[in-house]
Structure 1
Amino acid sequence: MALRLLRRRHSRGGSGVVPSLSVPLPPGAGAFGLMVVDPTGQPMGGAEVTVTARDSHRVATRGTTDPHGYFMATLAPGSYSVLTAAEGLSPAREELDIAPGVALPPRHIALEPARQLELPTAGTWLFDPPHTAIRFIAKHVGMAHVHGRFTRFEGGIRVAPNMADSHVSVRIDASSISTGNNTRDNHLRSADFLDVERFPYIDFTSTRFAYRGGSKWTLHGTLTMHGTSRSVGLDTTYLGTVNGGYEQELRCAALAKAELHREDFTLNWRSMLARGIAVVGPTVQLELDVQAMYHTHDTPTPPK
C-alpha cells in the first residue's frame, strides 16, 4: 500500500539532488519511490502513478505524487511495471524488481510534453456502431457495480477548420439499455427509471470544445434524458486518426467520460428506496468509446 509517512535524508549536494528515503517496511515487503518533475524540471504534484504486477497484469497499487513530486509505496516481492502520467504530458513507464527488506533508491522521472496528434480532417464523421460502445457503471444497492451499455445509437461529428468550433450530436435509443439481466433491464426501461414509453431517446448536443493540452479536451454540451436537459462536460481523450479498415476508410477515435447524477434528471432514487425498489445508485459513470468514419464535407444531419 502507498505510505503517507515519508522521511527524507537529503545529501549534501546542491538543489535538485534526489533525497534518499527511509521507511518502515512490513515483514517480507520491499519499497520504491519516485520523484516526478515536469518539462521545466519543477516538482510535479498530482501526477498519477499506477503499479502493475508484470506476471498477473493486476494493479498492485496506484496513487498520486505529493505537492513536492514524490510517490512511495511498499510492495510484495516481485517484478512490476510503473506508469506515471499527467494531463498534457507523455506517460513514462519504468520496470522494477522488489526484494524483501529492500527500499530501492528513488527514481527521477521527467515527464515530457505529449506528442500532438494530427487532428481529424474538417468535414463530417459518422459513428461506426460495430466499433463504438456507449457504456455505464453504477452501484447496485451501494455494493457491487452494475455494468451496462446501450446497443442502439447514432451520432456524428462535424469537424471545423478550427477544432474548437466543432460539433457533436448523439442520439441513443433508451430502450436498448442492457445490463445482462432481463428483470433489471425491464425495470430500468419502466416509468421508475428511464420511462422509455414517454422518453424514447437520450440526446447529447455539444456546445463547445475546450482544449486541455496534449490529446485532452473537454466537450461541453447538453444532455437530455427523461425529459430533462442538463449541461454536462465530457472529459475526452483523442486517440488519433488512421487510414485503414475494410474499405480503407479514414477513421478517428476518442474516449469520453462523465459522471451523471440521476436526481439531475428527475430520477428520484430515494422515493424508489422508500418503496423497496433499489436497482442502481445515485451516480452513474458514463463512457463513450467512439470510432467515426469520414463521410463528407457536409454538416452532419442532427438526430430527429
Structure 2
Amino acid sequence: MALALLRRRRPKGASAEAAGLSLPLPPGAGAVGREVVDPMGSPMAAADVTVTALDTHRVVARGTTDPYGFFLAALPPGQYSLLIVTEGLQPHRETVGIVAGTAAPTERVWLQPAQALELPAPGTWLFDPPHTAIRFIAKHVGMAHVHGRFERFDGGIQIAQDMTQSRVHVRIDASSITTGNNTRDNHLRSADFLHVERFPYIDFASTRFAYRGGSKWTLQGSLTMHGVSRSVSLDTTYLGTVNGGYGEELRCAALAKAELHREDYTLNWRSMLARGIAVVGPTIQLELDVQAMYRTHDTPTPPE
C-alpha cells in the first residue's frame, strides 16, 4: 500500500542514503522508497509515482511525492516497475525487487529536463477550421452543464523570432453559437445575451506569450464581446508540429483554456434571474482546440 506519511529521523542537510526511517512493515511485506529531486537537486513535490507488478502488469500502488520529494510504498515480495512523472521533466522508470521484511535504502532520483517540443517556425500560421474547435461549458441555472461551440471563426498566429513576442488573433461569428437546442440558441443570440445584431463578432487579440515551463504557455490578451473588452489569460498547452493533413503542409497544434465571467461583459446574470429568465451561470469555461497551417505560396485551402 502507498504510505502518505514518512516518519524521518534526519539531521538537517543529510542525504537520502543517511536518512533513518522508522517504519513498521505489514507481515510479509517489504518496502521501496525514493527521494525525487529536480535537475538542481531541489525536492520535487507532487511528482506522480506509479508502481506496477511485472508478473501481472497491474498497478499496485499510486501516489505523489510529499513536500520534501519523498515517496514510500509497502509491497508484497516480487518485481515491480516504478514510474515517476512530473510536468516538464523526463519520466523516470526503473525495476525494483521487494524482499519480505526488508525496507530497501531510500535512493535519490534525479529527474532530467524533458526534450523540448520544436517550436513553430517564425512566420504566419493560419487556423484550419475543420480541425479547430472553439467550445464552452457553463452551468444551467447552477445545475446541469451546458456544452456549446461556435461553428464559424477564423484566425491566425504570427510567430516572432522571440516566441514571447508572437501574436494570436481570433475572430468568432457570434451568431454561430450552438448548444444543441434551437430555443436556447436563439435566446443566446438575443439582446439578453450576445446581442448578435449589434455585436456580430467576438474577438481575441493576444499581447504576450509567457512561457511557464515544459509545454505550458500563458497567452495574455484582450477579449472583446458584447462591446466590452477585458484582459484574459489563456492557459495553453503546446502540442508540437507535424507535416500532413491535406498534403505535406506543416501544421502546429495547441489547446488553450480560460474562465470568463459574464458580468465582465455586461451580461447581467442576476438581473436575468430576477426577471425569471432561464440562463446559463455566471462563469463560462472556454476552450480553444487549435490546428494552424504554416502559410506558404502553396498552403492548401481547407474544405468547407
- TM-score norm. by structure 2 comes to 0.73
Give secondary structure in 2 for the equivalent of 1:148: strand
CA distance in 1, matches of 2:206, 2:137: 22
- The alignment status of 1:226 with 2:226, answered yes or no, reads yes
Q: In structure 1, give the amino acid aligned to 2:142.
A: G
- Deviation, structure 1 residue 66: 4.5
**Residues 135 and 94 from structure 1, CA distance in 2 versus in 1: closer, same or farther, beyond 3 angstroms?**
farther
Match of 1:8 in 2: 7
Deviations for 1:160-199, whole angstroms, at most 9, x for unmatched residues? 2222221111000111112222222222222221111111
For 1:108-119, list aligned pairs within 5 A: 110-119=110-119
Q: 2:16 touches 2:107 (CA, 8 Å); kept in 1?
A: no
Match of 1:85 in 2: 86
CA distance in 2, matches of 1:229, 1:35: 48
Q: In structure 1, give the amino acid aligned to 2:124.
A: T
Q: In structure 1, give the amino acid aligned to 2:253.
A: A
For 1:177-256, list aligned pairs within 5 A: 177-256=177-256
Identity of aligned residues (%): 72
Q: Which moved more, 1:140-149 or 1:168-177?
A: 140-149
Give secondary structure in 2 for the equivalent of 1:281: strand
Q: In structure 2, give the amino acid aligned to 1:227.
A: G
Match of 1:44 in 2: 44
CA distance in 1, matches of 2:283, 2:49: 25
Give secondary structure in 2 for the equivalent of 1:113: coil
**Residues 260 and 82 from structure 1, CA distance in 2 versus in 1: closer, same or farther, beyond 3 angstroms?**
farther
CA distance in 2, matches of 1:11, 1:167: 50
Deviations for 1:239-277, whole angstroms, at most 9, x for unmatched residues? 111112222111111111111111111111111111222
Deviations for 1:1-33, whole angstroms, at most 9, x for unmatched residues? x99x73525589x5224776869x9xxxxxx98
**Residues 136 and 94 from structure 1, CA distance in 2 versus in 1: closer, same or farther, beyond 3 angstroms?**
farther
Match of 1:77 in 2: none
**Residues 83 and 191 from structure 1, CA distance in 2 versus in 1: closer, same or farther, beyond 3 angstroms?**
farther
**RMSD, aligned α-carbons:** 4.0
Match of 1:271 in 2: 271
Q: In structure 1, give the amino acid aligned to 2:198.
A: R
Q: 1:170 touches 1:205 (CA, 8 Å); kept in 2?
A: yes
For 1:15-30, list aligned pairs within 5 A: 15-17=15-17
CA distance in 2, matches of 1:108, 1:194: 56
**Residues 294 and 272 from structure 1, CA distance in 2 versus in 1: closer, same or farther, beyond 3 angstroms?**
same
CA distance in 1, matches of 2:62, 2:136: 24
- Deviation, structure 1 residue 223: 0.5
Q: In structure 2, give the amino acid aligned to 1:85.
A: T
**Residues 91 and 229 from structure 1, CA distance in 2 versus in 1: closer, same or farther, beyond 3 angstroms?**
farther
Match of 1:139 in 2: 139
CA distance in 1, matches of 2:195, 2:240: 37
**Residues 90 and 174 from structure 1, CA distance in 2 versus in 1: closer, same or farther, beyond 3 angstroms?**
farther
- TM-score norm. by structure 1 comes to 0.73
Q: In structure 2, give the amino acid aligned to 1:6.
A: L
Q: In structure 1, give the amino acid aligned to 2:190.
A: S
Q: Which moved more, 1:277-286 or 1:108-117?
A: 108-117
Q: 2:212 touches 2:218 (CA, 8 Å); kept in 1?
A: yes
- Deviation, structure 1 residue 91: 5.2
- Deviation, structure 1 residue 90: 4.0
- The alignment status of 1:151 with 2:146, answered yes or no, reads no
Give secondary structure in 2 for the equivalent of 1:223: strand
Give secondary structure in 2 for the equivalent of 1:139: strand
CA distance in 2, matches of 1:251, 1:40: 35
CA distance in 1, matches of 2:201, 2:292: 21
- Deviation, structure 1 residue 214: 2.3
Q: 1:83 touches 1:94 (CA, 8 Å); kept in 2?
A: no
- Deviation, structure 1 residue 41: 2.9
Match of 2:290 in 1: 290
